[in-house]
């Protein structure tokens, strides 16, 4: 069945497959891999490798659902749009709220991580400055965002290659440390590690939010999402295995900067500053992509009347949702002022998993002529999201569910904003 012609775009269609893959990589190859291995090692020991596989498997199922839905509904907004079209308004609004709240927390975590690597003594002011700089880049148009992201991806890949080489050839690598039999927290520890590491994969949704800015979305998005996810998994697996071989899970769990600790343990410790710079650049890259993606969802919800319609204004010169981008940047600054990195990551994981659960439920409503993958992938993604969310630390789970409940009541029961 031929894909339907996309509706006229409110934004500018300027990105091809390569650009979309780069934006997806920029959203995933970031601070998650630099910081996420420590908490995962505390939860599961060397079995964090299984947590990585689990997180990637759930992410793959989610990605197939996102890709085929984005091809059928090539609009900005991601699962907010899919939920409305396939499940009804209230599910779409809940998905939009889950995405906005979860990803704003993610943005704050990225800004704080950047500042912690650059100048820990001035972390919060520097994080605010980073958010302001990223917002300025995004306001320059989607091509500028993609161009900057391409540079960031190249730099981060280079730094991660340095981590792998220094860990494996620094003289401390021991394959006996790669004992991936369940230990420590047992199966629950592996599940918790998967939930924490899922944070590092969740950026592929950024590609789906580009529905109105990619050329030929019915072809581009289904190709770009799995490709970006597959490349990210390969990089993460190489980094995790080399770091475990270099120092083992206990050292990774105790280190505030796990990858820097893996490099510092060997004869190539002089490369630690390179890793620190890479972590800072990676954090900025993810922050750049996330702020743009959250702004598109806010724009889509405002255009539908679920939020004040003045947020749906499109800049006439650069064809970007400028007001929505500025509001998102302001919200991130507020979270930066009151939360720390750990709190932001746990809360974000809970709400983003809820968002993807709605994505998979929406995919199950696709007709035979609209499917590109079997429904079993959507079922696996739905179950996987629920299991990973319930395995998160109790505080993160309670906070996330409370925020989702408030959003569901306030946005779901309130009349739509007038024109």
pTM strictly above 0.85: no
For residue 410, what are the CA distances in angstroms to 168, 294, 312, 324, 334?
52, 19, 20, 20, 20
Q: Which of 42, 36, 80 is closest to 55 using CA atoms? A: 36
Confidence of residue 218 (pLDDT cuts 50, 70, 90): low
What does the pLDDT read at residue 1? 45
Place of tokens 């990619």: 214
What does the pLDDT read at residue 128? 92
Tell me the C-alpha distance between 396 and 408, whole Å. 18
Query: Is the CA virtual torsion 50, 51, 53, 58 positive or negative?
Result: positive
Q: What is the mean pLDDT of residues 332-340?
A: 87
Q: Give percent of the chain above pLDDT 70.
A: 83
What does the pLDDT read at residue 2? 47
More confident residue, 71 or 172: 172
What does the pLDDT read at residue 4? 47
Which of the residue ranges 57-66, 172-181, 378-387, 388-397 would you say has the lowest mean pLDDT?
Answer: 172-181
Confidence of residue 112 (pLDDT cuts 50, 70, 90): confident
**Has residue 96 got a pLDDT over 60?**
yes
Which of the residue ranges 36-40, 58-62, 231-235, 382-386 would you say has the lowest mean pLDDT?
Answer: 36-40
Give 340-364 pLDDT, tens digit per residue.
Answer: 777 787 788 889 899 999 999 999 9
Cβ neighbours of residue 323 under 8 Å, at least 6 residues apart? 310, 311, 313
Q: What is the mean pLDDT of residues 217-239?
A: 82
Cβ neighbours of residue 92 under 8 Å, at least 6 residues apart? 79, 80, 81, 82, 83, 84, 85
Place of tokens 């993609």: 146
Confidence of residue 310 (pLDDT cuts 50, 70, 90): confident
**Has residue 319 got a pLDDT over 80?**
no
Q: What is the mean pLDDT of residues 280-292?
A: 80
Q: Give me the half-sphere count of Cα atoms (radius 13 Å) on the Cβ side of residue 4.
A: 13
Give 5-35 pLDDT, tens digit per residue.
Answer: 445 555 555 666 777 777 777 777 766 777 7
Choosing among 1.10.150.20, 1.10.10.10, 3.40.50.2300, 1.20.1740.10, the CATH entry for 17-413 is 1.20.1740.10
What does the pLDDT read at residue 98? 92
Mean predicted lDDT score pLDDT of the chain? 81
DSSP sequence for 214-273? BSSHHHHHHHHHHHHHHHHHHHHHHHHHHHHHHHHHHHHHH-SSHHHHHHHTSTTGGGHH
């Amino acid at each position: 069945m031929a894909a339907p012609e996309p509706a006229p775009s409110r934004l500018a269609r300027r990105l091809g497959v390569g650009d979309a893959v780069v934006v997806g990589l920029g959203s995933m190859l970031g601070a998650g891999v630099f910081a996420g291995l420590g908490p995962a090692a505390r939860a599961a020991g060397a079995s964090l490798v299984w947590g990585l596989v689990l997180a990637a498997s759930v992410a793959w199922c989610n990605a197939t659902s996102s890709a085929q839905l984005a091809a059928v509904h090539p609009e900005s907004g991601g699962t907010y749009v899919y939920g409305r079209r396939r499940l009804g308004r209230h599910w779409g609004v809940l998905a939009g709220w889950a995405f906005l709240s979860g990803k704003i927390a993610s943005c704050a975590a990225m800004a704080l991580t950047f500042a912690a690597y650059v100048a820990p003594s001035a972390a919060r002011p520097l994080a605010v400055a980073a958010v302001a700089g990223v917002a300025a880049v995004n306001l320059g148009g989607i091509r500028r965002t993609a161009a900057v992201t391409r540079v960031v991806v190249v730099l981060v890949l280079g730094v991660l290659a340095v981590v792998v080489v220094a860990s494996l050839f620094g003289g401390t690598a021991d394959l006996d440390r790669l004992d991936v039999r369940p230990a420590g927290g047992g199966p629950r520890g592996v599940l918790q590690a998967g939930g924490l590491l899922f944070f590092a994969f969740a950026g592929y949704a950024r590609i789906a939010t580009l529905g109105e800015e990619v050329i030929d979305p019915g072809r581009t998005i289904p190709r770009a999402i799995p490709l970006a996810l597959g490349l990210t998994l390969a990089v993460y697996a190489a980094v995790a295995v080399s770091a475990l071989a270099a120092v083992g899970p206990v050292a990774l769990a105790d280190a505030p900067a796990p990858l820097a600790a893996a490099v510092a343990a060997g004869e190539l410790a002089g490369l630690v500053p390179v890793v620190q710079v890479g972590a800072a650049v990676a954090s900025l890259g993810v922050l750049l992509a996330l702020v743009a993606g959250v702004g598109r969802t806010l724009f889509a919800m405002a255009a539908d009347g679920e939020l004040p319609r003045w947020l749906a204004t499109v800049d006439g010169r650069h064809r970007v949702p400028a007001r929505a981008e500025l509001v998102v940047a302001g919200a991130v600054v507020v979270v930066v002022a009151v939360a720390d990195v750990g709190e932001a990551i746990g809360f974000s994981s809970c709400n983003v998993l809820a968002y993807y659960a709605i994505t998979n439920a929406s995919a199950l409503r696709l007709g035979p002529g609209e499917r590109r993958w079997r429904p079993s992938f959507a079922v696996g993604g739905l179950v996987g999201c629920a299991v990973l969310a319930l395995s998160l630390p109790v505080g993160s789970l309670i906070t996330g569910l409370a925020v989702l409940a408030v959003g569901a009541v306030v946005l779901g029961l309130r009349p739509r904003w007038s024109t």
